[in-house]
Structure 1
Amino acid sequence: MSIEKRNLVIMWFCNFLVGASTTMIMPFLSLYIESFGHFNDEYVQRWAGFVFGVTFLVAFFISPVWGRFGDRYGFKPILLITGYGIAASIFFMGMVHHVIGLFILRIMMGIVTGFIPTSIALISAQTPKESAGKTLGTLQMGTVSGTLFGPLIGGAMADTFGFKYTFIITSISIAIATTGVLFGIVEKRKQTSSAQEKTFSRKDVIKRIFNHRILITVMIIALLIQVANFSIQPLLALYVSQLSSAGSVALLAGMAFSATGFGNLLMTRQWGKLGDRIGHEKVLMCLLLLAAIFIIPQALAQQLWQLVIFRFLFGMAIGGMLPSITAFIRREAPLEMQGEVLGYNQSFRFLGNVVGPVLGGIVSGYSGISSVFYVTSALFILAFGILLYSIKHDHRQFKESY
């Protein structure tokens, strides 16, 4: 097996574990906070929101920093720091006895949540541009698989072993995977002489992003995708309860959530391969339109099975968006600054993770949960319009320059 393939296999497995670890707390977060004492429902729900959201908020500011360090010192050291950092954060989450301690540890986890974007930068740097979509799509399958099975695994482990040992077992698994990075990953860095080596300041990177319309465009699109995706997720259990009279609402909501993940898992790599052949901008435009179309019937669903089917189709569409965006950045950004550019892209995505639930809560509060699906569809159409305008503008500039 070549070094590149071995690196991809190891990072796929590690991304699976890290993706699972970041979502495994979701099924029992409120229950874990309740176990700290006798609190009313309002207190538990408020702190559950704070504890869940603070990780993404901190990561929004930190991701470009890890990307910059990776560009300068190599991505493997950053993988080790963030991997062991995540493992330590999760380990101590199982030891706390107060919600403030859990909140602080989630902040610490946000600081070291640079593992997945750094892994993307590592694999992207070693992958030829003509096959970037397929390779990055394969890597994305690891993250998707982790986030798909994370809540299921976390819930099952909590029921079997209890909260404390669930955190400890997850922490040990991530530490083992990170040790695999230590001994298994071989990073090939571009060799340049000191005279040829070019370093970019943070100002240079930001200037590059804003001077290349397509870069800032795909980052805005990444933000809109996350806002659209996360606006409905916190409300899904309530929506399922409206469609079904069965008592096991949590299980049925899990089915609806997993349907999106299975669709995502099925098509992510295929969309990447198609993007390598016909262009990632064409695939991304197609996926944005498909997502906008498949989200509408979810608002009109009268039975749970209808919702599950269209969540599956929606997952198939949304699965190829991130690999297409990453492959785009791989093509447009110089290799020496790709880690930091990908870090900024990840920051936009983390910001969407924070804004999405807030938007969904506001919209549903005013006009009901079904209206959130219509707003989500509008966001995908807006992203399509932004991308179409940017591509046409770039083509017009190209023709005028010759």
Structure 2
Amino acid sequence: MRRAPPLPPTRGATVHPSPQRPGARRAALAFIFVTVLIDVLAFGVIIPVLPHLVEEFTGGDVASAARWVGVFGMVFAAVQFVCTPVQGALSDRFGRRPVILLSCLGLGLDFIFMAMATSLSMLFIGRVISGIASASFTTANAYIADVTEPEKRARSFGMIGAAFGLGFVIGPLVGGWLGGIDLRLPFWFAAGLALLNFLYGWFVLPESLPPERRARRFDVAHANPFGALVLLRSYPQVFGLAAVVFLAQLAHYVYPSIFVLFADYRYQWGPREVSWVLAGVGVMSIVVNAVLVGRSVKALGERRTLLLGLGCGVTGFVIYGLADSGWLFLVGLPVSALWGLAAPATQALITRQVGPQVQGRIQGALMSLTSLAGILGPLVFANVFALFVGSSAPAEIPGAPWFVAAVALACAWAVGWRYARVPREQAAA
């Protein structure tokens, strides 16, 4: 029998685009990509100038400014640790669209607040608000899980990884150029990006989670970071993969914690050399996430792609730790870049394990683990580096932090070997 054509909408009814239609789904994924890109760009733009603005508020005292920048980073991660599961739970209950749009609006207004800051305390408050608003990455991941078939999610998460890489290539370069004109100009630029993204999303972004698939109530127990971690324990496969996420994120913090100091100490690289190396890392990340992830998952599956990526990360960190010359360190860059295969494959496997009504809370719990790694990582790697350099070091091993990161990734590989499995019913299908 031929299916009857759908009834036309009643007069006066508002028709919202459905992300389940191919065209709408592509537009929605494009918006999520742009959202993540603009968020990362906005944060990347202020990286070169925030420490100098802090230094300005501390009267030019470099040591005091360094301590405050460290406090800012730790508090930012701690705020995200608390807020990401809240945003995830809110998106499960009320939908992804309002949470993402409020986050974009909040970031835009907060960057304006920081651009107008007249004291260190105002700047500190602005960073706290940034930590709250930037938790939208949780909801962005849940949105992708809503609108993408399970077998295509790794590729979609790879595109999000490419947005991160592109943002961290362009952002600091633009921020450094604008900051040379005025230290506050990058904040105004970041505000404009975030507010333009809010307007774009207001007119383009459809809701991905229909009311019948939402959580029946706002779950307070799972809207706090510790309750969210308890939620992870109720899904054994997810809990094991969450351990992979935490260990991998912990290892990743070796880069912002010691790379600049390490490169100066061991290779006498200045800001120019370091910026080019970071740009190269960003370009390689784009290639891996945008080109190689989808092909690798298609050829090897999520499990083997995850293990391959983690294995390359371990190898790359060992090369970094052993490299006694700059050219040998550069040899490790493409090897370590393949580590980028692991994160999209991990995310895809996790989203296969749970239904749509808890995707937001699961993603919130994972982002809380990432924030927890952001609290612990800088302390671990900075202290390990300080221990093994200088005249009082028990042994001069400036590459020690890279070896610690390699051990963390090796542990993640072992856990991934145990828990990285596609659910049986999906594998059979």
**TM-score over 0.5 (shorter chain):** yes
Range with greater deviation from structure 2 (230-239 or 57-66): 230-239
Where does residue 331 of structure 2 map in the other structure? Answer: 309
Q: Contact 1:232–1:357 (CA<8 Å) still a contact in 2?
A: no
Deviations 1:309-336 (A, max 9, x none): 3123312x22222211221121001111
- Post-superposition offset of 1:281: 2.1
Aligned-pair distance for 1:14?
Answer: 1.9
Q: How many residues align?
A: 388
How big is the shift at 1:297? Answer: 1.2
Alpha-carbon displacement from aligned partner over 1:133-171 (angstroms, at most 9, x marks no partner): 1122123211221123222221121113x1112211210
1:273 Cα deviation after fit: 4.1
| Alignment counterpart, residue 209 of structure 1, candidates 211, 229, 232 | 232
Residue aligning to 1:132: 153
The residue that corresponds to 2:127 in the other structure is 106
1:380 aligns with one of 403, 406, 409: 409
Among all aligned residue pairs of Structure 1 and Structure 2, give the percentage whose two residues are the same amino acid. 19
Amino acid at match of 1:384: W
Partner residue, 1:97:
118
For 1:293, which of 300, 315, 334 is the aligned residue? Answer: 315
Larger radius of gyration: 2
Unaligned runs of 5+ in 2: 1-21, 223-227, 390-397, 425-429
User: Hey, what does 2:419 align to over in structure 1?
Assistant: 390
Task: Please state how far the C-alpha of 1:208 moved relative to its aligned partner.
Answer: 4.9
Q: How does 1:21-170 map to 2 (within 5 A)?
A: 21-160=42-181, 162-170=182-190
1:202: how far off?
Answer: 5.3
AA aligned opposite 1:293:
T
* Structure 1: gaps of 5 or more residues: 396-402
Q: How far did 1:5 drift?
A: 0.7
- Of the three residues 243, 247, 253, the one matched with 1:220 is 243
CA contact (8 A) 1:329 1:338 kept: no
Cα offsets for 1:270-315 (capped at 9, x unmatched): 2244225543122111111111011111122233233233123312
Contact 1:80–1:181 (Cα < 8 Å) also in 2: yes
Q: What's the CA shift string for 1:237-259, capped at 9, x where partnerless?
A: 1222234446xx11111222223
Aligned with 2:254 (options 228, 231, 238) = 231
CA, structure 1 residues 241+188, in 2 after alignment: closer, same or farther (shift >3 Å)?
A: closer
Map of 1:175 onto structure 2: 195
C-alpha displacement of 1:374: 0.7
Question: How much has 1:7 moved relative to structure 2?
Answer: 1.1
1:45 and 1:208 map into 2 onto residues whose CA distance is 37
The secondary structure found in structure 1 opposite 2:148 is coil
Return the alpha-carbon distance in structure 2 between the equivalents of residues 39 and 340 of structure 1: 43
Matched AA of 2:350: I
Question: What secondary structure, in the 3-state scheme, does the structure 1 residue paired with 2:175 have?
Answer: helix
Alpha-carbon separation, structure 1, partners of 2:282 and 2:374 = 17
* Local SS of the residue matching 2:118: coil
Conserved? CA contact 1:230–1:356, under 8 Å: yes
Q: Is the 8 A contact 2:93 2:218 kept in 1?
A: no
Instruction: Give yes or no for contact 1:12–1:139 (8 Å, CA) kept in 2.
Output: yes
Q: Deviations over 1:220-266 (max 9, x none)?
A: 211111111112323211222234446xx111112222232222111
The 5-angstrom pairing of residues 189-268 of structure 1 reads 189-190=209-210, 192=212, 201=219, 203=221, 208-245=231-268, 249-268=270-289
> CA offset at residue 42 of structure 1?
1.9
Cα distance in 1, alignment partners of residues 58 and 67 from structure 2 = 15
Structure 2 counterpart of 1:370, from 377, 395, 399: 399
Q: Distance in 2 between matches of 1:328 and 1:272?
A: 14
Amino acid aligned to 1:371: A
Q: Alpha carbons of 1:84 and 1:200: their partners in 2 closer, same or farther (altered >3 Å)?
A: closer
Q: Is the 8 A contact 1:137 1:272 kept in 2?
A: yes
Tell me the secondary structure at the aligned position of residue 195 of structure 2: helix
1:81-119 Cα distance to aligned partner (Å, 9 max, x none): 111111111111111121111111111111112222212
Residues 385 and 401 in structure 2, CA contact (< 8 A), matched pair in contact too: yes
Query: Using the alignment, how far apart are the partners of 1:214 and 1:178 within structure 2?
Result: 36
- Rounded to whole Å, the distance in 2 between the matches of 1:226 and 1:349 is 6
- TM value normalised by structure 2: 0.84
Counterparts of 1:32 and 1:250, CA distance in 2: 18
> Secondary structure of 1:279's match?
helix
1:76 Cα offset (Å): 0.6
Aligned residues of 2:58 and 2:65 also touching (Cα < 8 A): no
Larger mean CA deviation between 291-300 and 18-27 belongs to 18-27
1:346 to 362, 367, 371: 367
Relative to 1, partners in 2 of residues 1:198 and 1:115: Cα closer, same or farther, differing over 3 Å? closer
Secondary structure, counterpart of 1:97 in structure 2: coil
The verdict on how the C-alpha distance between 1:193 and 1:139 changes in structure 2, with shifts beyond 3 A counting, is closer
TM-score by length of 1: 0.90
